[in-house]
Chains A and B, each alone.
Chain A
Amino acid sequence: GAVVSQHPSRVICKSGTSVKIECRSLDFQATTMFWYRQFPKKSLMLMATSNEGSKATYEQGVEKDKFLINHASLTLSTLTVTSAHPEDSSFYICSARVFGTVVAFFGQGTRLTVV
Protein backbone atom coordinates (compact mmCIF):
# COMPACT_ATOMS: atom_id res chain seq x y z
CA GLY A 1 0.00 0.00 0.00
CA ALA A 2 0.87 3.65 -0.19
CA VAL A 3 3.11 5.19 2.46
CA VAL A 4 2.10 8.07 4.68
CA SER A 5 4.72 9.46 7.01
CA GLN A 6 3.79 11.44 10.09
CA HIS A 7 6.28 13.42 12.14
CA PRO A 8 7.02 13.66 15.01
CA SER A 9 5.85 10.36 16.46
CA ARG A 10 6.00 11.74 19.97
CA VAL A 11 6.16 15.27 21.33
CA ILE A 12 6.02 16.83 24.77
CA CYS A 13 5.35 20.53 25.02
CA LYS A 14 4.63 23.10 27.67
CA SER A 15 1.16 24.48 28.18
CA GLY A 16 0.63 27.61 26.11
CA THR A 17 3.05 26.71 23.34
CA SER A 18 2.20 25.57 19.81
CA VAL A 19 3.07 22.27 18.20
CA LYS A 20 3.19 21.40 14.51
CA ILE A 21 2.59 17.89 13.21
CA GLU A 22 3.48 17.00 9.63
CA CYS A 23 1.85 14.43 7.41
CA ARG A 24 3.49 13.46 4.14
CA SER A 25 2.42 11.10 1.40
CA LEU A 26 5.69 9.61 0.24
CA ASP A 27 4.84 7.77 -2.96
CA PHE A 28 1.59 9.30 -4.15
CA GLN A 29 -0.16 12.62 -4.45
CA ALA A 30 -2.80 13.05 -1.81
CA THR A 31 -5.60 15.28 -2.95
CA THR A 32 -7.40 14.76 0.34
CA MET A 33 -5.95 14.42 3.82
CA PHE A 34 -7.78 13.72 7.03
CA TRP A 35 -6.81 14.47 10.60
CA TYR A 36 -8.06 12.28 13.43
CA ARG A 37 -7.75 12.29 17.16
CA GLN A 38 -7.98 9.18 19.28
CA PHE A 39 -8.87 9.31 22.94
CA PRO A 40 -7.87 6.40 25.19
CA LYS A 41 -9.92 3.28 24.43
CA LYS A 42 -12.03 5.21 21.94
CA SER A 43 -12.41 5.16 18.20
CA LEU A 44 -10.84 7.58 15.76
CA MET A 45 -12.56 10.94 15.82
CA LEU A 46 -12.38 12.88 12.57
CA MET A 47 -11.26 16.42 13.24
CA ALA A 48 -11.03 17.88 9.75
CA THR A 49 -10.73 17.13 6.07
CA SER A 50 -8.36 19.10 3.92
CA ASN A 51 -8.14 19.29 0.16
CA GLU A 52 -4.97 20.55 -1.44
CA GLY A 53 -5.03 24.27 -2.03
CA SER A 54 -8.25 25.00 -0.18
CA LYS A 55 -9.35 25.60 3.38
CA ALA A 56 -9.92 22.62 5.63
CA THR A 57 -13.42 21.51 6.54
CA TYR A 58 -13.72 21.05 10.28
CA GLU A 59 -16.07 18.68 12.05
CA GLN A 60 -18.59 20.05 14.47
CA GLY A 61 -17.07 20.85 17.82
CA VAL A 62 -13.50 21.16 16.54
CA GLU A 63 -12.06 24.64 17.00
CA LYS A 64 -10.46 25.72 13.75
CA ASP A 65 -8.51 28.53 15.43
CA LYS A 66 -6.98 26.05 17.80
CA PHE A 67 -6.24 23.28 15.34
CA LEU A 68 -4.77 24.97 12.27
CA ILE A 69 -4.58 22.77 9.20
CA ASN A 70 -2.58 23.60 6.11
CA HIS A 71 -2.52 21.50 2.94
CA ALA A 72 -0.30 23.56 0.70
CA SER A 73 0.95 20.76 -1.54
CA LEU A 74 -0.20 17.39 -2.80
CA THR A 75 2.23 15.61 -0.50
CA LEU A 76 2.15 17.62 2.72
CA SER A 77 -0.44 18.61 5.27
CA THR A 78 0.29 20.09 8.67
CA LEU A 79 -1.73 20.30 11.87
CA THR A 80 -0.72 22.99 14.34
CA VAL A 81 -2.11 22.79 17.84
CA THR A 82 -2.00 26.38 19.03
CA SER A 83 -1.75 27.46 22.66
CA ALA A 84 -1.78 23.84 23.75
CA HIS A 85 -3.42 22.81 27.01
CA PRO A 86 -3.15 19.52 28.90
CA GLU A 87 -6.60 18.50 27.61
CA ASP A 88 -5.15 18.60 24.08
CA SER A 89 -2.93 15.67 25.03
CA SER A 90 -3.95 12.87 22.73
CA PHE A 91 -2.95 10.64 19.83
CA TYR A 92 -3.27 12.47 16.52
CA ILE A 93 -3.34 10.54 13.25
CA CYS A 94 -3.43 11.71 9.66
CA SER A 95 -4.55 9.83 6.61
CA ALA A 96 -4.32 10.52 2.92
CA ARG A 97 -6.31 9.53 -0.10
CA VAL A 98 -5.81 9.85 -3.82
CA PHE A 99 -8.55 11.59 -5.74
CA GLY A 100 -11.02 9.12 -7.15
CA THR A 101 -10.04 6.30 -4.80
CA VAL A 102 -11.64 5.25 -1.56
CA VAL A 103 -8.88 3.61 0.43
CA ALA A 104 -7.22 5.96 2.91
CA PHE A 105 -3.72 5.26 4.14
CA PHE A 106 -2.67 6.32 7.60
CA GLY A 107 0.40 7.82 9.15
CA GLN A 108 1.90 6.23 12.23
CA GLY A 109 0.36 8.80 14.56
CA THR A 110 1.72 11.44 16.93
CA ARG A 111 1.46 11.17 20.69
CA LEU A 112 1.13 14.72 22.03
CA THR A 113 1.62 15.34 25.73
CA VAL A 114 1.08 18.84 27.06
CA VAL A 115 2.56 19.47 30.49
Chain B
Amino acid sequence: DQQVKQNSPSLSVQEGRISILNCDYTNSMFDYFLWYKKYPAEGPTFLISISSIKDKNEDGRFTVFLNKSAKHLSLHIVPSQPGDSAVYFCAASDGGQNFVFGPGTRLSVLP
Protein backbone atom coordinates (compact mmCIF):
# COMPACT_ATOMS: atom_id res chain seq x y z
CA ASP B 1 0.00 0.00 0.00
CA GLN B 2 1.62 3.20 -1.20
CA GLN B 3 1.39 5.91 1.41
CA VAL B 4 2.81 8.54 -0.94
CA LYS B 5 1.77 8.55 -4.58
CA GLN B 6 3.00 10.43 -7.59
CA ASN B 7 0.65 9.35 -10.31
CA SER B 8 2.51 10.90 -13.21
CA PRO B 9 5.69 8.95 -13.92
CA SER B 10 6.83 11.60 -16.37
CA LEU B 11 6.11 15.17 -17.44
CA SER B 12 7.39 17.27 -20.34
CA VAL B 13 7.27 21.04 -20.27
CA GLN B 14 8.54 23.75 -22.57
CA GLU B 15 11.33 25.96 -21.26
CA GLY B 16 9.97 29.10 -19.65
CA ARG B 17 6.58 27.57 -18.85
CA ILE B 18 5.31 26.31 -15.52
CA SER B 19 5.98 22.76 -14.34
CA ILE B 20 3.45 21.31 -11.91
CA LEU B 21 4.31 18.09 -10.13
CA ASN B 22 1.64 16.43 -8.03
CA CYS B 23 1.75 14.21 -4.98
CA ASP B 24 -0.98 12.52 -2.93
CA TYR B 25 -0.70 10.84 0.44
CA THR B 26 -2.93 8.58 2.45
CA ASN B 27 -1.56 8.72 6.00
CA SER B 28 -3.20 11.53 7.98
CA MET B 29 -0.34 11.35 10.51
CA PHE B 30 2.03 12.94 8.02
CA ASP B 31 2.63 16.54 9.00
CA TYR B 32 5.70 17.54 7.05
CA PHE B 33 6.26 17.25 3.33
CA LEU B 34 9.39 17.59 1.26
CA TRP B 35 10.42 17.66 -2.36
CA TYR B 36 13.73 16.28 -3.56
CA LYS B 37 15.36 16.47 -6.97
CA LYS B 38 17.51 13.65 -8.26
CA TYR B 39 19.86 13.43 -11.20
CA PRO B 40 20.97 10.01 -12.51
CA ALA B 41 23.67 8.31 -10.43
CA GLU B 42 23.45 10.96 -7.71
CA GLY B 43 21.75 11.17 -4.36
CA PRO B 44 18.59 13.29 -4.02
CA THR B 45 19.02 16.94 -3.13
CA PHE B 46 16.56 18.71 -0.90
CA LEU B 47 14.51 21.39 -2.66
CA ILE B 48 11.72 22.70 -0.51
CA SER B 49 9.46 21.61 2.28
CA ILE B 50 6.18 22.54 3.90
CA SER B 51 4.69 21.99 7.30
CA SER B 52 1.08 20.93 7.65
CA ILE B 53 0.25 24.20 9.39
CA LYS B 54 0.88 26.04 6.12
CA ASP B 55 -0.72 25.80 2.71
CA LYS B 56 2.04 27.42 0.69
CA ASN B 57 5.78 27.81 0.82
CA GLU B 58 7.82 29.65 -1.77
CA ASP B 59 11.56 29.66 -2.49
CA GLY B 60 12.64 31.41 -5.65
CA ARG B 61 11.24 29.60 -8.66
CA PHE B 62 9.86 26.80 -6.49
CA THR B 63 6.53 26.88 -4.69
CA VAL B 64 4.90 24.04 -2.84
CA PHE B 65 1.16 24.02 -2.18
CA LEU B 66 -0.51 21.80 0.39
CA ASN B 67 -4.19 20.89 0.49
CA LYS B 68 -4.59 18.96 3.73
CA SER B 69 -8.26 18.13 3.28
CA ALA B 70 -7.50 16.54 -0.09
CA LYS B 71 -4.21 15.05 1.15
CA HIS B 72 -2.58 16.56 -1.89
CA LEU B 73 0.48 18.67 -2.52
CA SER B 74 2.07 20.08 -5.61
CA LEU B 75 5.38 21.59 -6.61
CA HIS B 76 5.33 24.47 -9.05
CA ILE B 77 8.46 25.47 -10.92
CA VAL B 78 8.27 28.70 -12.84
CA PRO B 79 9.85 29.50 -15.15
CA SER B 80 11.08 26.01 -15.98
CA GLN B 81 14.66 25.67 -17.16
CA PRO B 82 16.44 22.81 -18.97
CA GLY B 83 18.57 22.28 -15.85
CA ASP B 84 15.41 21.42 -13.95
CA SER B 85 15.17 18.17 -15.92
CA ALA B 86 15.47 15.45 -13.28
CA VAL B 87 13.39 13.04 -11.24
CA TYR B 88 11.40 14.74 -8.49
CA PHE B 89 10.48 12.82 -5.37
CA CYS B 90 7.80 13.84 -2.96
CA ALA B 91 8.40 12.71 0.64
CA ALA B 92 6.27 12.78 3.74
CA SER B 93 7.15 12.53 7.41
CA ASP B 94 5.20 12.13 10.63
CA GLY B 95 7.96 13.99 12.44
CA GLY B 96 9.34 10.75 13.81
CA GLN B 97 11.10 7.87 12.13
CA ASN B 98 8.45 7.45 9.45
CA PHE B 99 9.79 9.08 6.30
CA VAL B 100 8.23 7.88 3.06
CA PHE B 101 9.12 8.68 -0.55
CA GLY B 102 6.82 8.64 -3.53
CA PRO B 103 7.82 6.80 -6.72
CA GLY B 104 9.04 9.97 -8.42
CA THR B 105 8.13 11.97 -11.52
CA ARG B 106 10.62 12.45 -14.30
CA LEU B 107 10.50 16.05 -15.51
CA SER B 108 11.86 16.95 -18.93
CA VAL B 109 12.16 20.63 -19.75
CA LEU B 110 12.44 21.07 -23.47
CA PRO B 111 14.45 23.99 -24.89
Main secondary structure on chain B at its contact with chain A? strand
How far does the Cβ of A27 sit from chain B's closest Cβ, in whole Å?
Answer: 14
Partner of B99, one of A42, A57, A91, A104: A104
- In the bound complex, residues from chain A placing their C-beta under 8 Å from that of B102 are 43
For chain B, the bracket of interface size reads: 20 to 34
Q: Find out whether the CB atom of B44 lies under 8 angstroms from the CB atom of A44.
A: yes
Q: Find out whether the CB atom of A106 lies under 8 angstroms from the CB atom of B99.
A: no
Q: Find out whether the CB atom of B34 lies under 8 angstroms from the CB atom of A42.
A: no
Q: Find out whether the CB atom of B42 lies under 8 angstroms from the CB atom of A43.
A: no
Q: How far is the CA of A4 from the CA of B86 in the complex (A)?
A: 20
Q: How far is the CA of A46 from the CA of B41 in the complex (A)?
A: 17
Q: Find out whether the CB atom of A32 lies under 8 angstroms from the CB atom of B97.
A: yes
Q: How far is the CA of A109 from the CA of B45 in the complex (A)?
A: 11
- In the bound complex, residues from chain A placing their C-beta under 8 Å from that of B42 are 108-109
The residue of chain B having its C-beta at the shortest distance from the C-beta of A32 within the complex is B97
Chain A: residues with Cβ within 8 Å of the partner, total of: 24
Q: Find out whether the CB atom of A34 lies under 8 angstroms from the CB atom of B41.
A: no
Q: Find out whether the CB atom of B103 lies under 8 angstroms from the CB atom of A103.
A: no
Q: Find out whether the CB atom of A102 lies under 8 angstroms from the CB atom of B103.
A: no
Q: Find out whether the CB atom of A43 lies under 8 angstroms from the CB atom of B101.
A: yes
Q: How far is the CA of A108 from the CA of B40 in the complex (A)?
A: 10
Q: List 30 A-B contacts (CB under 8 A).
A: A1-B46, A6-B43, A32-B97, A34-B99, A42-B103, A43-B101, A43-B102, A43-B103, A43-B104, A44-B89, A44-B101, A46-B99, A49-B97, A91-B41, A93-B43, A93-B44, A95-B43, A95-B44, A102-B32, A102-B93, A102-B95, A103-B34, A103-B46, A104-B34, A106-B36, A106-B44, A106-B46, A108-B42, A108-B43, A109-B42
Q: Which B residues have a C-beta under 8 Å from some C-beta of A?
A: 32, 34, 36, 41-46, 49, 89, 91, 93, 95, 97, 99-104
5 A-B pairs with the lowest CB-CB distances in the bound complex, closest first: A106-B43, A43-B103, A102-B32, A109-B43, A108-B43
Known A43-B102, A95-B44, A104-B46; further 4 A-B contacts with Cβ < 8 A: A43-B103, A102-B34, A104-B34, A105-B46
